Amino acid sequence: MKSEASPYQFLERPASLARGTVTTDVTNILRDAIVSLALRPGEVLDKNAICDQLGVSRFPVSEAFSRLQGEGLVDILPQRGSIVSLVRIADVREYMLIRKALESEAVRALVGRHDDGLIADLRRNLAAQRAAVEVDDRSGFHARDLEFHDMLFDAMRFAKVRVIIESARANLDRARRLIITPRRLALSLEEHQQVFEAIVAGDTGKAVAAMRGHIDSVMAELLVFARQRPDIFADGDVLSDEEDAFPFG
């Protein structure tokens, strides 16, 4: 009798199941699947099927669910199992406020204090972003998008600030992937280009305004999307028309 195909074939089995790393490996695999939307918001998680696909026991999968619950990516429902958490637009709004404040200040600190190496790296990154836009490579663009922002923090050696940003990244990345369209890719590329040009010109005011405008633009689009698809947001059905703006100045 032919066995049924696993519903989790997209989950790659850990390369090695070394003692002490299994739970971390399983957590990382499931997190990546949730953030990339391979596991969709609201999807029921079949623990046994995940164990079979990854070739692990129930313990590391249970532990992974607990860790991901702490990150806001999984809901564990007593006596009912576990599901991929719906996206909370209220949380995303707060995370975006944090990013807006920290990234605009990082840019402010960077202008006039960068070296030629950073400019060359950012230029190459923007070229890669443009190439991804031209072929509608959404995953590739997303990776280059994250890299662009990381370069700015790395240049200033803002390790503590980056830790704060990283702590919010998983849910933010998941939400942002929901609005990745050819139009959004082109807009983000244009907004990144504006930040870059202001840095090169040494114009602090324009660089800060461009970064703040970029984050506002992404958040505004997320709010519109949440109103259109309230089924994948925990609070999408309670957004008011007034909340379609990103009211942080």
**pLDDT, tens digit, 9 for 90 and up, residues 108-165:** 989 988 888 999 999 999 999 999 999 999 999 999 999 999 898 888 777 777 777 7
Of 167 and 59, the structure prediction assigns the larger pLDDT to 59
* 153 compared with 59, residue with greater pLDDT: 59
Task: Please give the CATH number for the structural domain made up of 89-244.
Answer: 1.20.120.530
Does residue 9 have a pLDDT over 50?
yes
Residue 227 reports pLDDT greater than 70: yes
Domain 22-84 and domain 89-244, same fold? Reply is no
More confident residue, 246 or 64: 64
Residue 2 pLDDT more than 50?
A: no
Q: Of 84, 81, 56, 57, nearest to 68 (Cα)?
A: 84
pTM across the whole model: 0.83
Answer CATH for 22-84 from 3.30.70.1520, 1.10.10.10, 1.20.120.430, 1.10.10.60: 1.10.10.10
Band (pLDDT 50/70/90 cuts) for residue 92 is confident
The residues, ordered by sequence, that sit 6+ positions from 85 with a Cβ below 8 Å of its Cβ are 41, 72, 73, 74, 75, 234
Domain ranges of the chain: 22-84, 89-244
Q: Select from 41, 43, 49 the least CA-distant residue to 9.
A: 49
Please give the pLDDT value at position 241.
54
**212 has pLDDT over 80:** yes
Q: What is the mean pLDDT of the chain?
A: 88
Chain position carrying tokens 């991929």: 84
Assign 51 a pLDDT band (cuts: 50, 70, 90): very high
Q: Is the pLDDT of residue 244 over 60?
A: no
pLDDT tens sequence across 153-162: 888 777 777 7
| Angle in degrees, CA 245, 182, 215, rounded to 5 | 30
pLDDT score for 90: 86
Asked if residue 103 lies in contact with residue 146, where contact means CB atoms within 8 angstroms, the answer is no
Instruction: Provide mean pLDDT across the span 14-29.
Output: 82
| Range from 36-50, 125-139, 165-179, 190-204 carrying the lowest mean pLDDT | 165-179
pLDDT-derived band at 44, boundaries 50, 70, 90: very high
pLDDT of residue 208: 96
Query: CA-CA distance, 70 to 10, in Å (whole number)?
Result: 24
Q: Which of 69-73, 102-106, 243-247 has the lowest mean pLDDT?
A: 243-247
User: What pLDDT is stored for residue 1 in this prediction?
Assistant: 40
